[in-house]
Structure 1
């Protein structure tokens, strides 16, 4: 599996092996899959290669992880009934891997326009021109070229600048966040989280024993600054986790930055959608807070595509423990692929791609808005998204959203119920809906099914 030029694409072979393994499973049995280390030894690949393949399978809904237990899967043809009502996320994963489903629960902007082909072409060119210089060598935090490109990307001025040594690259976003939770010692600590929040982040925090304090956004997607101030003053908050997108109006961000500084609170900024803000002139909270208490994380996958699943972290501090944890994880990331990503930054190809992707995402959002108004105008309230690939919707009538979810599953449509985005059940009347969709289904039919499901799930 690890011979010649194919070594850097070993994850593809692991992926195919896992697909065959999953499809051999009896349809009425939930099966635990081999551990990362066991599978790496069996297939003679690195652990990070296996982790990469598992992350792709998890994104596709073919496998799911259970804290302190491992990965589990059922074959694609298996019914979804194995999942308990207690774990809605398992039900969602089971639905997405059924054939013929219209999956509108995902947040995958690059599905609309990816750079996968350009990335792989750059890899081939680099390997052909400089085969000897591109031999793998140990750089556990990521190769220097990519870290330098990221540092330059985030540098705003002489005082708000980053160096390559401040950047850490891992096999995927999950691995990077797990390291960060460990290094910051967040077990038992209070973390203030902008809500709604991605379910991957919430589950990682919960499984690590973090006390999550949610600061919910209103229906327009804005944080309540007065409530934020109250929580910061009354709770012993160690860290505030906010997205880089427009959760705070520009005129309120300086006040929020001052609040964080007054309370001695670190800002962990989720920049997953930062490159996908429709207005590229947007300024972020990170541009205002104390750089000495700032951490930023993101992933290339959202804006490049699935061939670039790496996660990354920016931190001016904690360099020794971060380097130690990355070394212990022994991420053996493809140096060629990292160099290819760095080239996308350096030659301007990424900026060109982002301009096109933002335009397409905005056009798709406007298109989806038209469908929502036409079919569901009185049943749902929402604000237009300012970034990314999803709408955050609220039912104007009281409904059982789980019942709505199940009703749509039976009609081959998958949505993401709002309760997945909170640890305390804040959003029973909400759902997330992607406006990036393929042409294999009629969106008219999907909207009709959603309208019918909301009517079916109505309470009272």
Structure 2
């Protein structure tokens, strides 16, 4: 039998199994050794067939683990709801969001869940912070840190960004109290009350909270669950209204996990130059990438008009509250506003984090987390595929959540109190819109492993929603 026919025969057999769900989403295929023995084939023949299926998007190779069934965007049923473009308006954020946050369930289906075992990365981080605290000597604790933050941490952040394709000097970075604080500083430094800000729709409700607090107006720009903010729609908005700034998350925007392609990034910068826009890049999810982290939009900024905001909250610890901002031409004003709004960041936290990163623990943590997040995502998508209705879901390559579109008659806001009665916290779609759109949509997070309790909570959703 010709070698070509052998690998094609194996490829077809595996493909039939994948299409027939012999191996489900996220499951591991038999090992190369097992396939060689069972099929009577050489290792090279088996590898060739597996690599061809990987290239087609059916499989994903994981180092030292084998081949797994991949989530294939081409086979997915992506959401189709598109935001309408309304006139700019003041923002009023729903009180329901405060209820969700009060239940500690912004990224979980379960409220106030007791903490489990610490992952290795967090244990190493705690040790590093503890050592930094013990090293405090003399009267150093009586003094404030510089507004721009600890130099050693800024050096580590600059190295980290350099690996992603953005060469930045430490003095171009300012440490903040998380990404939300960085976004707040960016808006305060560049906008005045009543200004119009273009936002993704669906988009991050935290941005909407900031716009409300600062008295800014929002205009919603439709966003795709695959490629993010629609550049045609943004151009139409800019031609119609005077917009001061645009806030975008090119790397895995919430709630869909969309990844903005390079040509859209370039077009966004061209539009910003033509209309003299401030571009505020929310880069908080970049390190949750299931593959290599994408280059930031800031790496393409030749006109010094992109303000990059980031944090380790989503990739390391939400409790850490350490972020950063690179303020472009507004950096000096941002440093002044940091002094006014926060004065200084915790010295020993920054020192401990700098040591944690310098010793390679953060990079190792991200590698481990990538595998866990992929498994979490695939398990969620597999469960959604089994729901008894027309359910459309994004297939993110990063971020922490899936955007789920249900039949149009579904009212996720009305389902919220019913979910609480069942011990489940859902995150309704209207929270991600200025105008309350997406009532039949919701965000479901895969930030946490699917324990038995979470699987039971997920299993309750069809009865609550459909």
Same fold (TM over 0.5): yes
Deviates more, 1:395-404 or 1:147-156: 147-156
Over aligned residues, Cα RMSD in angstroms?
A: 3.1
Aligned counterpart for 1:202 among listed residues 193, 197, 208: 208
Corresponding residue of 2:238: 232
- Other-structure match for 2:271: 259
Report the secondary structure of 2:292's partner residue. coil
SS of the counterpart of 1:375?
A: coil
Residue 119 of structure 1 contacts residue 340 of structure 1 at CA under 8 Å; is this kept in 2? yes
Looking at structure 1, the residues matched to 111 and 229 of structure 2 have their Cα atoms a distance apart, in angstroms, of: 23
Deviation at 1:175, TM superposition (A): 3.3
TM superposition shift of 1:319: 3.4
- Matched with 2:185 is 179
Which residue of structure 2 aligns with residue 445 of structure 1?
Answer: 456
The equivalent position to 2:221 in structure 1, one of 215, 222, 225, is 215
- Please report how far the alpha carbon of residue 298 of structure 1 lies from its aligned counterpart in structure 2 after TM superposition: 1.6
CA offsets, 1:330-383, max 9 Å, x none? 43432121011112222222111111111210111011111111235x332012
Q: Which residue of structure 2 aligns with residue 90 of structure 1?
A: 98
| Aligned residues between the structures | 363
| One of 356, 364, 368 as aligned partner of 2:380 | 368
Gap runs ≥5 in structure 1:
1-84, 456-460
Change (3 A) 1:303 1:134: farther
Counting only pairs closer than 5 Å after superposition, residues 389-428 of structure 1 correspond to structure 2 as 389-428=400-439
Corresponding residue SS for 1:393: strand
Q: 2:144–2:344: 8 Å Cα contact kept in structure 1?
A: no
Instruction: Decide whether aligned partners of structure 1 residues 301 and 96 sit closer, same or farther in structure 2, where only a CA change above 3 A counts.
Output: closer
Aligned pairs (5 A) from 1:83-162? 87-93=95-101, 95-96=103-104, 103=109, 113=119, 115-128=121-134, 131=137, 136-155=143-162, 161-162=167-168
- Displacement of 1:112 in angstroms is 8.9
Alignment of 1:301-450 (within 5 A): 301-376=313-388, 378-437=389-448, 441-450=452-461
Q: CA deviation at 1:304?
A: 1.7
1:379 to 1:181, Cα distance in 2 relative to 1, 3 A: same
Structure 2 unaligned runs (5+)? 1-92, 252-257
| Residues 266/104 of structure 1: CA separation in 2 closer, same or farther (3 Å cut) | farther
TM-score for both structures, normalised by structure 1: 0.71
1:419 Cα deviation from its structure 2 partner = 0.6
Q: Name which structure has the greater RCO, CA cutoff 8 Å, separation 6+.
A: 2
Moved more, 290-299 or 317-326: 317-326
Task: For 2:94 and 2:271, locate their aligned partners in 1 and report how far apart those are by CA, in whole Å.
Answer: 38
Whole-angstrom distance in 2 between the partners of 1:440 and 1:357: 16
Q: Is the 8 A contact 1:114 1:304 kept in 2?
A: no
